[in-house]
Amino acid sequence: MRHARVAGREPVPLFEELLETFPEVRWNVDVKAEPALRPLLDLIERADAWGRVCVGSFSEARVVRAQRLAGPRLATSYGTRGVLGLRLRSWGLPAALRRSAVAAQVPVSQSGVPVVDPLFVRAAHARGLHVHVWTVNEAERMHRLLDLGVDGIMTDHIDTLRKVMEDRGVWA
């Protein structure tokens, strides 16, 4: 990573550097591979960033393993199984849900089936969960999601999100 450059110029910061440079910022980390789990938890421990990092993964088993290793101080989101359970609950159907999650990090839709709608957001909020939606790059869609009450938007176009937040009067 030390040799990688953004646009051929800027170095890519290490997560440890970001935690140190931005001590008030909260982070979502999607653990894509099992070998990354232990080093991530070790870094969170070294940085004492338990209250600033939410760990997620498509793999519900990986998130549960992270929670088991770190204990209740680790904030986690649902994996695929948890999101499906929450979706079923939003339709009034029974489904088991892990109690230790603090967020549902979801796409707007999956394979053409809507995930984020008023029912889903209400079901999540009723359980005390935040709803973080990915990957949203269009201003109009960002506005619609914020109007639904989502708590976070992940984007490739931070300048667009900033403009949306400025337009809504919530960017300081």
pLDDT at 34 over 80: yes
With 0.85 as the threshold, say if the pTM is over it: yes
Co-location of 93 and 171 in the same domain: yes
Q: In this predicted structure, what is the pLDDT of residue 171?
A: 87
Quick one: tokens of 27? 């982070």
**Judgement on whether residues 86 and 69 belong to the same structural domain of the protein:** no
Looking up residue 136, the CATH number of its domain turns out to be 3.40.50
pLDDT of residue 61: 93
Average pLDDT, the chain: 95
The helix/strand/coil state of 143 is: helix
pLDDT at 150: 98
Among residues 56, 102, 54, 116, the alpha carbon closest in space to that of 80 is found at 56
Tokens at 145, concatenated: 């999601």
Span 89-116, pLDDT tens digits: 999 999 999 999 999 999 999 999 899 9
For position 133, what pLDDT does the model report? 97
| Higher pLDDT pick, 7 / 143 | 143
Domain count, the chain: 2
Q: Are 55 and 38 in contact (CB under 8 A)?
A: no
pLDDT tens track for 47-82 = 999 999 999 999 999 999 999 999 999 999 999 999
6 shares its domain with 48 = yes
**Domain shared by 70 and 104, yes or no:** no
Show which of 19, 54, 77 is a domain's final residue. Answer: 77
Shared-domain flag, residues 18 and 7: yes
Identify whether residues 55 and 73 lie together within a single domain. yes
Same domain for 147 and 136, yes or no, is yes
Q: Are residues 149 and 160 in the same domain?
A: yes
Say yes or no: 83 and 70 in one domain.
Answer: no
Q: Are residues 116 and 170 in the same domain?
A: yes
What is the mean pLDDT of the segment spanning 13-17? 94
- Each residue's pLDDT tens digit, 120-172: 999 999 999 999 999 999 999 999 999 999 999 999 999 999 999 999 999 87
- Using the predicted structure, report yes or no on whether residue 2 has a pLDDT greater than 90: no
Last residue of a domain, one of 77, 109, 136: 77
Domain co-membership, 108 together with 55: no
- Domain housing 34: 1-77
Q: Are strands 27-30 and 53-56 parallel, antiparallel or unpaired?
A: parallel
Instruction: Out of 57, 77, 97, pick the residue that ends a domain.
Output: 77
